Structure 1
């Protein structure tokens, strides 16, 4: 039997926070991939998870002793429109474990069948979206960006009906918690402010214990969430990541990247880039992610107003003051990160101008986002390596002028070219999960039952800052006929 020591702080909350429900068994589960390192971090027996009994658990066929499966309730603004009842429509939380670092982590099955929140859906997941989330979430972790993790992917032996009939799969997802801005909205929309208070107290105890010691704990909670979200989205931007569906129900209170649907990484830099097939107006374009995060945080603040002060005007003023700090916090993380990407060890007044000029030139020059910074790292150590860098730009002449300004800027610092190069290579990845590579992996798995490309891509992305010469082609931007212009939601 399983030796998973589950705890259940969330399912000990009142029943209105969730509905107890069981996964729907599947026909013939087969393990695609187990994340052995993560299993060990969680204190789980990875060999048991690979056994028939363990695979049955990962597929939802076997409920391990001590698990209390639930589907959690939440609401959310979807593309700006409020939906008062969403909830886990195809995900079931088995329980929580305490990892080897003493951190509480959720273990959830995604694609495990219908729940009372399914709203007519089948509650299942197709293989493609499961592989996409596994790849993207593990790549984000390797890039040192806060994220949910993928513990396992399992084939179900059944098909799911989407545009066509597709192989079904289940993803086992690990998160610091699955509480969202939309969870707060679920109770606030019903006028259940005791529910909001209970949820806020739970979040403070689980994620932000220092807020409990503050003079105004709920205001401190709001300030903490604003800070982690500002930092998270700035880190997305520094990596060229586009979430694609920044609805309030997809924004984690813990400050982790969650719900990898039609997400993607930039190839050519352009702040107006949109990949999501359902984002027709570009609401969640790459360059809009900061303002959208703030918009979502305003929605969170609205739910907390009754907890901030008895007087409505006073509560609004406190919330506005907290929200007014977002831009500065976002900009601080972004500029600090950009200084690191540009190899700047000191701060100068005109650094932001230098950054903005580069991004503008990259947009006009259709330069690859990831490789521009990677090749710039090489040029920091040796000016004779500029040729590779210049080849990225459709208008290299304008970029050459910027390059001269950058060299003038770094000349005022004490670091050697080698020291600067090494520091830049540590923050500028060579490998990201390029969209055409992810799609090729999915195609091989879905059409040919071939998971070797999936395994290889995962291995490459696990060391994004290493050169890995034998896998150099994974760093190449897509050829014109390889470009992926749209990504799709798994539902």
Structure 2
């Protein structure tokens, strides 16, 4: 059987200003680590022989119909504008329209130097590739909009970071790779013709009901508000919420120094490059609003009467915090068993979170345990939970089946930071069993899986991951 990918490459039909033609760089000895057959089926991809797929997903062989390019964009990185970024280690092979009618990008990440590498080697080492594979697929299973992983391949070549590391390539799938930074670069250059062309393309691809640039802004706002609330509900910390990592489609993109909360701490920061806590867990809603404001600033540049559009754009952006709060309330309300949370429930939820902070309570396990009556065991001082529980039980009297609501909202399994690190360490030694086990368990995060109870356990003191790294 030969690998068959039904390409239909709309982005490559845009003007050359949007990208650089860029074939991936071949590697020495590609070996297929993983192939996501379920995702491939959804995308209408026919798998081939293992050796052939290793060649294709490593970048050694271009599949028929591919038009490899690297996309151009700019962005604010930790609040500072960088006038040109772009895909420094990624090649977009093309797009497919799946059996569900959804158009998706297929991108090789770690496939060599591009016109936008800025001195980098364009490669990825095995650790970040496996992290993104596991975490992105776990996020999908958790119900969080996300890019996905189609394949992972060893390259047979070393990548040099702190030392020599085994190289790898990830095949990433996304609704698109359009970012806030894609709009910013044309706006900053005063290239209004291509800014308008990009706006029309984004509307046609993602939000066909949107009415012009401000309609696009509102649609992106709504998608991002839902996304950020979902992050908060599963304890996810992106770690590098730069505008070039903010997707127009409302998907989670670029799993670099990401992490999940163990002990609940609203100020938690794991990213080794976030030295000021700009992208801490509790700051993520505000940063999403800030990023949307940068998109608004870019979109306005295509209007002749820009001053007239500022008021409309400002209103759209200023509505975002309340939208995030609404989605947050619905999500956290479900986490405590409320099928229709009300404004007055914010205090009840906030009180629980405050008590969790002071009692070293594990975020995921505490909420999961609410459904089986063992949540007080998560607190160093169980009396702190008891004081909250009375008010909670009073509130639940209006609910018909709060346990069912909680089971659907609270996962038993997340990609624990220490398990990710242990999985990577094993893979570096050639043992992929932990990688395969994590993927299998995390594909069913809301189900009880007694044989995987160890994967739900918080880290022991010597297993705590204090910092995560982007891998570039």
TM over 0.5: yes
Deviates more, 1:155-164 or 1:3-12: 3-12
TM-score by length of 1: 0.94
Q: Report the 3-state secondary structure (helix = DSSP H, G, I; strand = E; otherwise coil) of the residue aligned with 1:33.
A: strand
Aligned residue for 2:414?
A: 432
Residue 439 of structure 2 is aligned to residue 458 of structure 1: yes
Question: Does the CA contact (< 8 Å) of 1:26 and 1:59 recur in 2?
Answer: yes
Q: Report the 3-state secondary structure (helix = DSSP H, G, I; strand = E; otherwise coil) of the residue aligned with 2:168.
A: strand
Aligned residue for 2:384?
A: 398
- When residues 478 and 414 of structure 1 are mapped into structure 2, their CA distance, relative to the original with a 3 A threshold, is closer
Residue 44 of structure 2 is aligned to residue 22 of structure 1: no
CA distance in 2, matches of 1:169, 1:61: 13
Pairwise CA distance, 1:232: 0.4
Aligned residue for 1:339?
A: 333
Pairwise CA distance, 1:414: 4.7
Aligned residue for 1:220?
A: 215
CA distance in 1, matches of 2:190, 2:215: 22
Cα RMSD for the two superposed structures:
1.0
Partner deviation per Cα, 1:176-198 (whole Å, 9 max, x = no partner)? 00010000011111111111111
Question: Does the CA contact (< 8 Å) of 2:90 and 2:107 recur in 1?
Answer: yes
Question: Does the CA contact (< 8 Å) of 1:79 and 1:283 recur in 2?
Answer: yes
Pairwise CA distance, 1:51: 2.9
CA distance in 2, matches of 1:82, 1:439: 32
Aligned residue for 1:115?
A: 114
CA distance in 2, matches of 1:285, 1:156: 34
Residue 347 of structure 2 is aligned to residue 353 of structure 1: yes
- When residues 401 and 306 of structure 1 are mapped into structure 2, their CA distance, relative to the original with a 3 A threshold, is same
CA distance in 2, matches of 1:343, 1:297: 32
Q: Report the 3-state secondary structure (helix = DSSP H, G, I; strand = E; otherwise coil) of the residue aligned with 1:4.
A: coil
Aligned residue for 1:407?
A: 393
- When residues 349 and 229 of structure 1 are mapped into structure 2, their CA distance, relative to the original with a 3 A threshold, is closer
Aligned residue for 2:40?
A: 39
Residue 372 of structure 2 is aligned to residue 378 of structure 1: yes
CA distance in 2, matches of 1:26, 1:236: 36
Question: What is the aligned length?
Answer: 471
Question: Does the CA contact (< 8 Å) of 2:336 and 2:370 recur in 1?
Answer: yes
Residue 257 of structure 2 is aligned to residue 262 of structure 1: yes
CA distance in 2, matches of 1:287, 1:174: 28
Question: Does the CA contact (< 8 Å) of 2:338 and 2:396 recur in 1?
Answer: yes
Residue 456 of structure 2 is aligned to residue 475 of structure 1: yes
Pairwise CA distance, 1:427: 1.3
CA distance in 2, matches of 1:127, 1:248: 26
Pairwise CA distance, 1:459: 0.5
- When residues 346 and 20 of structure 1 are mapped into structure 2, their CA distance, relative to the original with a 3 A threshold, is closer
Pairwise CA distance, 1:481: 0.8
Aligned residue for 1:383?
A: none
Question: Does the CA contact (< 8 Å) of 2:334 and 2:341 recur in 1?
Answer: no
CA distance in 1, matches of 2:408, 2:225: 23
Partner deviation per Cα, 1:229-269 (whole Å, 9 max, x = no partner)? 11101100000000000000001000000000000000011
Partner deviation per Cα, 1:102-143 (whole Å, 9 max, x = no partner)? 110000000000001000100000000000000100000000
Q: Report the 3-state secondary structure (helix = DSSP H, G, I; strand = E; otherwise coil) of the residue aligned with 2:325.
A: helix
Question: Does the CA contact (< 8 Å) of 1:74 and 1:87 recur in 2?
Answer: yes
Q: Structure 1 unaligned runs (5+)?
A: 380-387
Aligned residue for 1:5?
A: 6
Aligned residue among 396, 411, 423 for 2:405:
423
CA distance in 2, matches of 1:346, 1:139: 26
Q: Report the 3-state secondary structure (helix = DSSP H, G, I; strand = E; otherwise coil) of the residue aligned with 1:367.
A: coil
Aligned residue for 1:382?
A: none
Pairwise CA distance, 1:2: 4.0
Q: Report the 3-state secondary structure (helix = DSSP H, G, I; strand = E; otherwise coil) of the residue aligned with 2:104.
A: strand
Q: How does 1:85-484 map to 2 (within 5 A)?
A: 85-211=84-210, 214=211, 217-307=212-302, 309-379=303-373, 388-411=374-397, 413-415=398-400, 419-446=401-428, 448-484=429-465
Question: Does the CA contact (< 8 Å) of 1:306 and 1:315 recur in 2?
Answer: no
Q: Report the 3-state secondary structure (helix = DSSP H, G, I; strand = E; otherwise coil) of the residue aligned with 1:11.
A: helix
Question: Does the CA contact (< 8 Å) of 2:67 and 2:94 recur in 1?
Answer: yes
CA distance in 2, matches of 1:324, 1:152: 40
Aligned residue for 1:385?
A: none
Partner deviation per Cα, 1:433-455 (whole Å, 9 max, x = no partner)? 00000000000011x11000100
Q: How does 1:54-73 map to 2 (within 5 A)?
A: 54-73=53-72
CA distance in 1, matches of 2:366, 2:111: 41
Pairwise CA distance, 1:306: 3.0
Pairwise CA distance, 1:349: 4.4
CA distance in 1, matches of 2:195, 2:226: 25
- When residues 363 and 62 of structure 1 are mapped into structure 2, their CA distance, relative to the original with a 3 A threshold, is same
Pairwise CA distance, 1:310: 3.2
CA distance in 2, matches of 1:324, 1:414: 34
Question: Does the CA contact (< 8 Å) of 1:364 and 1:395 recur in 2?
Answer: no
- When residues 353 and 89 of structure 1 are mapped into structure 2, their CA distance, relative to the original with a 3 A threshold, is same
TM-score by length of 2: 0.98
